Structure 1
Amino acid sequence: MKLSTLSLFLFSCIVSFVAAETHTWWFETGWVNANPDGFLEKPMIGWNGTWPLPILRAKKGDTINLYLINGFTDANTTLHFHGMFQNGSSQMDGPPFVTQCPIPPGETMLYNFTLTQHGTYWYHSHTSGQYGDGMRGIFYIDDTEDYPYDYDEEVFLSVTDNYHHNSDYLNPRFLNRYNPAGAEPIPDSSLFNETRNVTWHVQPDTTYLVHIVNVGRFVSQYLYMEGHEFEIVEVDGVMVEKNATDLIYIAVAQRYSVLITTKSDTSQNYAFMNSMDQTLLDYIPADLIVNSTNWIVYDDSAELPGQYYIDDWDADFDDFFLRPLSNQTLFPDPDYVVTIDVVMDNLGNGINYAFFNNITYTPPTVPTLITALTSGEFATNELVYGTNTNSFVLQKGDIIDIVVNNQDSGKHPFHLHGHIFQLIERHPESFTDLVSFNNSDHAEWPEYPMMRDTAYVYPQSYMVLRFVADNPGVWFFHCHIEWHLDQGLAVQFVEDPMGIQADPNQALTPDYINSCQKNNISISGNAAGNSVNLLDLTGEPVQHKPLPPGFTAKGIVALVFSCIAGICGIAAIAVYGMAEIKDVEHRVARDLALDIEDEDDEDEITQAEEGSSSGGEVSK
């Protein structure tokens, strides 16, 4: 099967795909000047001196040896392979202080694991801000069997939001007491394959298999084409029955594979649009281009059309109704239900945070995976993982329901590491009152639920996810809007901790240990780093204290003096306002530049006239 020659889809970046069972790659992080949207050149995080990052490709069953060299001089880094299960290799999953110690400057970590899935995935830094600054790329895993749908050529497409400032500028301004509402930074543009205004040259009567990934940090996007339609065949690595649609809604971190069949007539070119979900933005800057135009080009000599408009943004295909090609039925009733309420609120330092059940995720002193490995029988006790990590211990083989009650006014795309889940219910958006899940009064659940690893919940509404705890490890569950993760919208599942300890493949690698030691992080102990008394959490990192009820002492003093100042001001206005003003008419007339005569002036004129008639002098 031949690959597309489209320069559009960056095939010059694809790492060699060979039939070998082991792929060994060496990549060093560093800053590269780039101009993604054509409006501003800025530093982006590249690998081996180039950006965008390469498309990685391998087969199900292959072994990956990816050596990541931290080329930064002043920042740690990590790498997450989004959507990959990491069976038996939880330490390769990437989130710092969840499954690994961050890689310090100048050090190298080998990410070594075996691919157990197939489909469309991606990789990105899990260190705050870095994937928004460019450390991201597509990772495609071929199946060892024939693809279930016919196609002629294969292409890759990423969409993302883009900021003209990097994270070291944006993050401290976002998490700031002067941003008390927690308003997310507004993107400066959107990108289509890490650029804008792209031309995709196609052949007539050709079916393209297009793998689409939203690698953005904030904004969901709509995709739609003039005169063509998408046939959805895969979501988040899960093959599904074909579904045709004119409009796709893709939240950050989600993936779709679609079939696009071109026309026989080559006389016309067509618009291919990507558009930001404006409901996620607090305001729309006048210069923000929310609808970006790209082109499906049949004939270079033909005109490129203008923007293509649609009338109904609600016409996108609801992924809830996708049916897995495997015909996997609804998992049995849950053994354990984890109910988490999403709230955005301020703490005592004035900063707006995100909370699950009144806890904003605060990283522990020791990575949670280390605690699970070194706590012996205490590893089944959720307390050893800290009071501010929102940790849940799951038993091997249990059926787990995650009920997400979104008490916030915005959408949230949630991603579960280490698993795919069944989306068994997603309640519509509530525009008035908050709607929470009621186990005795809910919609009928589907027989063949849609399955994926990232799903969004509507505002003031809820969704229910179900999965099987069949992968021992520590797995993050978090909002994939990076701003919200930075605010603490995350929990972690410690799955079968005794199974983790019993598996020799879970033993920490030398590179892993080296990263911990270079960062002065203990390789044993509870969330506070205590390896003697595992239930003693003295010194553990915790969230800021809440805002005090009522007024603080300083607030009371400020209020008293403000009231005194206000009373004095009112008194001054009253005293001076009621005082008699001499010659008020004259003063007003002067201020208004009017030429009028008052009574005194008339008396003086009369006296002057009398003096003149008697021959006397009048002196003024």
Structure 2
Amino acid sequence: MILRLALVLVLLQHALCATHVYNWTTGWGYANPDGIKRREVITCNGEFPWPSVRVTKGDRVIINLTNGFNNSNTTLHVHGMFQNGSNQMDGPPMLTQCPIAPNDTFTYNFTVSDNAGAYWYHSHTDGQYEDGMRGLFIIDDGENNKNFPYDYDEEVLLEIGEWYDKTVAQLKPDFLSLDNPTGAEPIPQNLLINNTRNLTWNVEPNKTYLLRIVNTGGFVSQYFWLEDHEMEVVEVDGVVTEKNKTNMLYITVAQRYSVLVRTKNNKDRNYAIMQKYDDSMLDIVPKNLALNQTSYLTYDSSKPQPKQSYVNSMDDFLDDFYLVPYHKQKLLPEPDHRIELVVAMDNLISGKNYAFFNNITYTAPKVPTLMTVLSSGKYASNSYIYGTNTNTFVLKRNEIVEIVLNSHDTGTHPFHLHGHVFQTISRADAVDDSDPPLEYNPKNHTSFPQYPMMRDTIYVRPQSNFVIRFRADNPGVWFFHCHIEWHLMQGLAIVLVEDPEGIQSNPSQQLTDSHKRVCKNVGMSTEGNAAGTTDWFNLALQNKQEKSIPSGFTTKGYVAFVFSCVAGVLGLITITIYGLMDLQNVEEKVIEDLDIAPGTLLEEGEEEEIETNQDYAKSGKSDGGSFEDERKLQDFETTKQISKSSSK
């Protein structure tokens, strides 16, 4: 009888749930969201900004995404969605799907079964969301959010972020460049709120607003406060919390906060809504950069708009570590699987700056990792087949996983885990640049909280550490990565293959026809290891990260150095001798004395080769011997000038 009743309730719930279908086509248009410069933006069906989505927990969502770009692939990810049983709808290219080629369509089809609260969606390809391919994704807990535990009168959505006056395609070459050896991120020109600046939020007295604040930016964290108004935090990253009052929030990119704001009982004046850069994340602060952005909390539009609000200290923001989940989940037990990660930023042989977990910068495989799981049979539990340049860890079903992250970098990094929320059980203070990094000591740490804060995006402070735990109860292939989009481009990511046998045995995890077609149209296989072969332990052809810069000179380097010095001294002597002589046709005499044939000054193709390496030689770096390349360049420039003179 009970079983029948439960079945009836399940069927009734499914009958009441709605299906939302969205047909979106990407494209390029023009917009001026910051009011300063009109520039190219990514549009949805020709419109900017992209639409906000609102569904109810239990609903089905179908997004038919058509790639309307001319020469760029794309994908879509709903940030924070668990995708339980629908891992192939998560979105990261070469992780859970093949990228969508121009003029092709991929269907994202999933049920919102376990999520409620404030989320967002964005492209997971080549920084496209920084150009506008992003939007809010709000999930009500029951009809009209009736299951939300706190009362409020009205809901307001605030999407905050930063804005550049150039596209990512324009900024990326200079960012990942030999000329940017420190990896300094591009500086945004402005902060946005709801895709504009100087927003006006009209309020009424004596009302309680549920304010959902989502940072959809790609780089900077922001301080956020409302002048002379207190905020009560009631939800972070889709996790309802016990109420916690604060006057200021610190919100990294990809984080979400839902707060209750009680308005005043009069209309005496209007108040400032404040955003401020965390300028400690900027390598330089341009003189003309406005670090504060003021919008307006307006009680009476006939009264003057407020000026910007000042605070005594930027250190008085809410420390989210101490938030307690509303449905208290006790500290998970000691881990079955501990993953220890060291974050560092460094240069590889090209001179470009990359980001590393344990000396590996994520390099995408040739077959999406989920498809390697599905096609590898009994080998799926062996992390080797997923590639040695992907930083892949295999997790067993239901084991307790602990990630210990030690950052050796001097910046703040927000890290996001796909497919889960996690418990944050430890997070240390920032360490000054002049001191060595503070690594987590499992034998000497602060007491873990009884009911740890839970969310899906957490920041690590400069040269510091944090520890998180979660249960591996969601079979799938999941990214754990820095959500600063520039750092993801630099490779700051690992891959978690969670319960591969569970993925293989679940019919809902098998590839859809949409998946297969998209892979075929982009010329990628749906079977094989990271190298694209079913010779599972042969990774000879896998994609690899660049080689490291040699720690010292090789024998070849020393020889090149000595001969370069000798050649340089002889060159100076020769120049001095001829410079003191009053000779006619000096160029011809130099050529004659050195026994150089003008017609054979350069071997065929040598000029092109040396000019290609000119930047390396000038910087002291090259593919194999920097001093040798520099000597070639000097010889080339000298002989080229002589050749030009003798041909006159």
Scaled by the length of structure 1, the TM-score of the pair is 0.87
Distance 1:149 1:560 in 2: 77
Q: Contact conserved, 2:411 with 2:462, CA < 8 A, in 1?
A: yes
**1:132 counterpart SS class:** helix
What code does the residue aligned with 2:286 have? P
Distance 2:305 2:16 in 1: 40
Partner of 2:462: 459
1:133 to 114, 131, 134: 131
The 1:20/1:448 distance shift into structure 2, 3 A limit, reads closer
Q: Within 5 Å, which residues of 2 pair with 1:340-489?
A: 340-431=341-432, 432-489=435-492
**2:330 counterpart SS class:** coil
Q: Within 5 Å, which residues of 2 pair with 1:466-545?
A: 466-531=469-534, 533-545=535-547
**1:414 counterpart SS class:** strand
CA deviations on 1:332-386 (whole Å, 9 max, x unpaired) are 1100000010010111111110000010000000000000000001000000000
What code does the residue aligned with 2:421 have? I
Distance 1:134 1:506 in 2: 31
For residue 572 of structure 1, report the CA deviation from its aligned partner: 11
Partner of 2:590: none
Identity %: 52
**2:131 counterpart SS class:** coil
CA deviations on 1:201-252 (whole Å, 9 max, x unpaired) are 1111111101110000000000011111111000000000011101000000
**2:502 counterpart SS class:** helix
For residue 570 of structure 1, report the CA deviation from its aligned partner: 12
Q: Contact conserved, 2:17 with 2:60, CA < 8 A, in 1?
A: no
The 1:556/1:31 distance shift into structure 2, 3 A limit, reads farther
CA deviations on 1:440-475 (whole Å, 9 max, x unpaired) are 111110000000000000111110010000000000
Partner of 1:177: 178
1:24 to 21, 25, 31: 21
What code does the residue aligned with 2:78 have? F
Partner of 1:162: 163
Distance 2:256 2:562 in 1: 53
Distance 2:120 2:565 in 1: 56
Q: Within 5 Å, which residues of 2 pair with 1:258-277?
A: 258-277=259-278
Q: Contact conserved, 2:162 with 2:191, CA < 8 A, in 1?
A: yes
CA deviations on 1:44-74 (whole Å, 9 max, x unpaired) are 1111111111110101111111111111111
**2:186 counterpart SS class:** coil
The 1:323/1:340 distance shift into structure 2, 3 A limit, reads same
What code does the residue aligned with 2:545 have? Q
Structure 2 gap segments, 5+ residues each? 1-14, 580-648
Whether 1:304 aligns to 2:305 is yes
Partner of 1:69: 66
Partner of 1:120: 118
What code does the residue aligned with 1:502 have? S
**1:315 counterpart SS class:** coil
Structure 1 gap segments, 5+ residues each? 1-17, 577-620
For residue 551 of structure 1, report the CA deviation from its aligned partner: 3.1
2:105 to 99, 105, 108: 108
CA deviations on 1:79-104 (whole Å, 9 max, x unpaired) are 00000000011110000001100010
Q: Which of the two has greater helix per residue? A: 2
Partner of 2:41: 44
The runs of at least 4 consecutive aligned structure 1 residues that moved more than 2 Å come to 551-573
**1:313 counterpart SS class:** coil
**2:63 counterpart SS class:** strand
**1:436 counterpart SS class:** coil
The count of residues paired between Structure 1 and Structure 2 equals 556
Distance 1:352 1:199 in 2: 41
The 1:569/1:269 distance shift into structure 2, 3 A limit, reads farther
For residue 433 of structure 1, report the CA deviation from its aligned partner: 2.0
What code does the residue aligned with 2:552 have? G
Distance 1:569 1:189 in 2: 53
CA deviations on 1:283-324 (whole Å, 9 max, x unpaired) are 111111110010111111111121111121110010000000
Partner of 1:582: none
Q: Within 5 Å, which residues of 2 pair with 1:550-589?
A: 550-551=552-553, 553=556, 557=560, 561=564
The 1:252/1:566 distance shift into structure 2, 3 A limit, reads farther
Distance 1:469 1:19 in 2: 31
Distance 1:231 1:409 in 2: 31
For residue 434 of structure 1, report the CA deviation from its aligned partner: 1.2
CA deviations on 1:564-613 (whole Å, 9 max, x unpaired) are 7589989999xx9xxxxxxxxxxxxxxxxxxxxxxxxxxxxxxxxxxxxx
Distance 2:287 2:569 in 1: 40
The 1:283/1:373 distance shift into structure 2, 3 A limit, reads same
**2:315 counterpart SS class:** helix
For residue 199 of structure 1, report the CA deviation from its aligned partner: 1.1
Distance 1:197 1:555 in 2: 61
What code does the residue aligned with 1:291 have? N
The 1:317/1:566 distance shift into structure 2, 3 A limit, reads farther
Distance 1:126 1:415 in 2: 13
Distance 1:209 1:55 in 2: 17
For residue 146 of structure 1, report the CA deviation from its aligned partner: 2.5
CA deviations on 1:88-142 (whole Å, 9 max, x unpaired) are 1111000000110001000111100010211110000000120000000000000
